[in-house]
Structure 1
């Protein structure tokens, strides 16, 4: 099992900046405003030849029982319990604060190895603040600058004394191959604010892993969690709610939205959650269109279904609404769920697995061209400027999503309506519901184009 380290400290001391540097990606949101990080976030970190799991946590802070601040601290306490060691981070430019002293006692009570990191130590003021930190009684401070990468050598020396040696390369390679063969499906949960995304994931996990609140906008980072459902692995990303661009004003919300969009691009299947009482609103349709343009498999989850009054034919009505409002992903799976009550969860997870399989589907070339000949015979391409368009043959170039190249004459003259006809016919024939289908037009080379006419 991987050695795990939790980064702790009061708000705005640079914990997320250090997390991003160690994982080698900007996974955690960073801003000058305190309290940006709310949920705990995990990543695979590397420092030199040391490999370990790192957990970014919310800043240790106090708040009334049951409040969002108090539940953020509970998430941090859970991360400390899971960790094998702690990075206790202070802001060397500011020096010690009463909160640092109080939380140093908290770190000592954890009874785990603690490395004291004096962040933002660049410059004279940082040097003085680092000297102050000896008073915490947590050993020699390691002076670093997470933003500029200074002090990483000293951190490596200290860390190498507590991180166990890695397994040999051969064992690691075999483990990686096995993981790749059984790789979990990457799923992003997206939707408007307060659609119930975090509540759904918490129910899947069976614990309050992600912070939830009636207040819209509780989730900021795109948090990834590992879930196993009926023997199948999933890596699920909870994302910030996506609002219309005109309503996004604060810098932090813009960062959260950008993080959510990155999660969509990283995912293989995207679950668009809608409120059952306010479904298929303009922003829902925009998000679905974004997912289609990014080429990801899509599943619609209509949440808070337990609040709807039972009426006959409601599920059929959902199906008709989905096909009406989202013709570009005709047949997209749609599931009525209640994240709070746990209703419809099995159907949702099955829909994700099936959408993933369709997204990866390859159609044999012989079957594809038999369909192609029949589709053209049933509905020939229109004549443009009195000349009939010639469609030669079609082949699949890749899956994820299913993508095809159609060889033809005068590619620029083929109308979009005819391409939609081919796409819908292909969906129906080869059972490709809901997934994006790409058809690229390519003009067949003229074998006589290079020959010059002979002079008379």
Structure 2
């Protein structure tokens, strides 16, 4: 992108609404409650013919530096320092407040270009607030309505005037757009070749979601990976609300990691804002390729932990367990043996899932965790040739034949892999509806052991084999 823009303002003036308008998607959570946004969220914005990077930020609330509001404002200041231009959003409907004057004074001291934006200008009685904005001394305010998309052309002209045409329209401003990870990632094209076993692409960008219960240490873990305080952290539970994506390189490979809100039990989620946060976390899970479930090693395997793992397996994602806060564990060997036993016993649907003890606070085990993520993604992308599968199917039926139903033996005739991500197989057989679930579990466990598919979801579908004499019988 040619330049970076930060959206600044006090709480509830419409910053996240404007952010969603500029990126063209409902990425940021929006609610009437002040202070919804806490972390700074980046995005790729498009405004008429402008392309730039935009950062949504938390609103200014006067508070002590060590408080949650103080740490939120520290994130906003980091966004201002990173940006080339600030969009200072004020509420034309509600008028100016002392917080607006404080922000204006701070932006003047920074000495960077500022565009004053008077949002909610479509409302009745907004003229007074619009004209009051002139008193801030930051130039003419640009009246817009982020909710309805009014005034976007004027906003574009104001940004070009503030940043300069050379920065706004670089000669190669569209080259980077084709490099964003928009390439197909579902493996649909490769899945059409039944016989091929393609090599794993070590250079392809990898999308990883970090999920877990509140206060499990998800944001702290990502900050440790990045080596900076990129995400808001603290002792309070439920700090993260939006699903924030960050990019970094691990051994030459681009990793796009999503921090998500903590997911509590559904019965405890009552507030609308928390429901929106959990829905955003679920979208991040569906968008990711590998999901890391962060457990609190001091209180692991709560009921909600097991439900989160089951949800991810049912979604078909590749899963890795991370037992965080390992620095608080005293008897490492005894706790590790107990965790291994519980993992095998409580998660039979993900047999062989990789589980790594880590500490987001000290950095212990992070390299092992990343290697487990890469290995699990390789398994999730695995394809097996049809010839190998049919030889394996014959041997499985010799060792343990399908049961007889109503005195008639079931026959499994043919097997092929129809998709990857996760591995899915189709078996042609007689009377597929009569095949018991226990035999399907037997085949899945055999696939895991014989083809090295630990910890990833495996799907097996059945279809009835065609009878070549059926039509002849009807003609007679």
Band of TM-score, shorter chain: over 0.9
SS at match of 2:125: helix
* Partner Cα separation in structure 1 for residue 271 and residue 363 of structure 2: 34
SS at match of 2:168: coil
Q: Tell me, yes or no, if the aligned pair for 2:297 and 2:326 is still in contact at 8 Å.
A: yes
C-alpha displacement of 1:368 = 1.5
Instruction: Tell me, yes or no, if structure 1 residue 440 matches structure 2 residue 461.
Output: yes
Name the CA shift for 1:305/1:407 in 2 (closer, same or farther; >3 Å).
Answer: same
* Partner Cα separation in structure 2 for residue 97 and residue 39 of structure 1: 23
Question: Could you say which residue in structure 1 is the equivalent of 2:385?
Answer: 364
Q: From 417, 424, 427, give the equivalent of 2:445.
A: 424
Instruction: Tell me, yes or no, if structure 1 residue 191 matches structure 2 residue 212.
Output: yes
Question: Could you say which residue in structure 2 is the equivalent of 1:410?
Answer: 431
Q: From 164, 168, 173, give the equivalent of 1:164.
A: 168
Question: Could you say which residue in structure 2 is the equivalent of 1:23?
Answer: 23
Name the CA shift for 1:110/1:396 in 2 (closer, same or farther; >3 Å).
Answer: same
Deviates more, 1:130-139 or 1:238-247: 130-139
* Partner Cα separation in structure 2 for residue 77 and residue 280 of structure 1: 38
* Partner Cα separation in structure 2 for residue 143 and residue 447 of structure 1: 73
* Partner Cα separation in structure 1 for residue 384 and residue 375 of structure 2: 16
Could you list the per-position Cα deviations for residues 405-451 of structure 1 after superposition, in whole angstroms to 9, with x for gaps in the alignment?
Answer: 11122121111111111111001111111011111222223333333
Q: Tell me, yes or no, if the aligned pair for 2:204 and 2:253 is still in contact at 8 Å.
A: no
Q: Tell me, yes or no, if the aligned pair for 2:2 and 2:173 is still in contact at 8 Å.
A: no
Instruction: Tell me, yes or no, if structure 1 residue 255 matches structure 2 residue 260.
Output: no
* Partner Cα separation in structure 2 for residue 61 and residue 427 of structure 1: 54
Residue correspondence of structure 1 range 3-152 to structure 2 within 5 A: 3-152=3-152
Question: Could you say which residue in structure 1 is the equivalent of 2:405?
Answer: 384
Question: Could you say which residue in structure 2 is the equivalent of 1:153?
Answer: 153
Could you list the per-position Cα deviations for residues 276-312 of structure 1 after superposition, in whole angstroms to 9, with x for gaps in the alignment?
Answer: 1211111001000000011100000011111112253
Q: Tell me, yes or no, if the aligned pair for 1:276 and 1:302 is still in contact at 8 Å.
A: yes
Q: Tell me, yes or no, if the aligned pair for 1:38 and 1:220 is still in contact at 8 Å.
A: yes
Question: Could you say which residue in structure 2 is the equivalent of 1:203?
Answer: 224
* Partner Cα separation in structure 2 for residue 221 and residue 8 of structure 1: 17
* Partner Cα separation in structure 2 for residue 359 and residue 16 of structure 1: 36
Name the CA shift for 1:113/1:170 in 2 (closer, same or farther; >3 Å).
Answer: closer
Q: Tell me, yes or no, if the aligned pair for 1:330 and 1:433 is still in contact at 8 Å.
A: yes
TM-score normalised to structure 1 length: 0.95
* Partner Cα separation in structure 2 for residue 217 and residue 146 of structure 1: 28
Could you list the per-position Cα deviations for residues 197-237 of structure 1 after superposition, in whole angstroms to 9, with x for gaps in the alignment?
Answer: 11111111111111112111111111111122232221111
Q: Tell me, yes or no, if the aligned pair for 1:133 and 1:141 is still in contact at 8 Å.
A: yes
SS at match of 1:434: coil
Could you list the per-position Cα deviations for residues 114-165 of structure 1 after superposition, in whole angstroms to 9, with x for gaps in the alignment?
Answer: 1111111113322332222111121121111111111112222223343521
SS at match of 1:406: strand
C-alpha displacement of 1:168 = 4.3
C-alpha displacement of 1:375 = 1.2
Name the count of aligned residue pairs: 455
Question: Could you say which residue in structure 2 is the equivalent of 1:235?
Answer: 256
SS at match of 1:220: coil
SS at match of 2:263: coil
Q: Tell me, yes or no, if the aligned pair for 1:17 and 1:30 is still in contact at 8 Å.
A: yes
C-alpha displacement of 1:316 = 3.9
Name the CA shift for 1:328/1:178 in 2 (closer, same or farther; >3 Å).
Answer: closer
Question: Could you say which residue in structure 2 is the equivalent of 1:355?
Answer: 376
SS at match of 2:421: coil
C-alpha displacement of 1:179 = 8.8
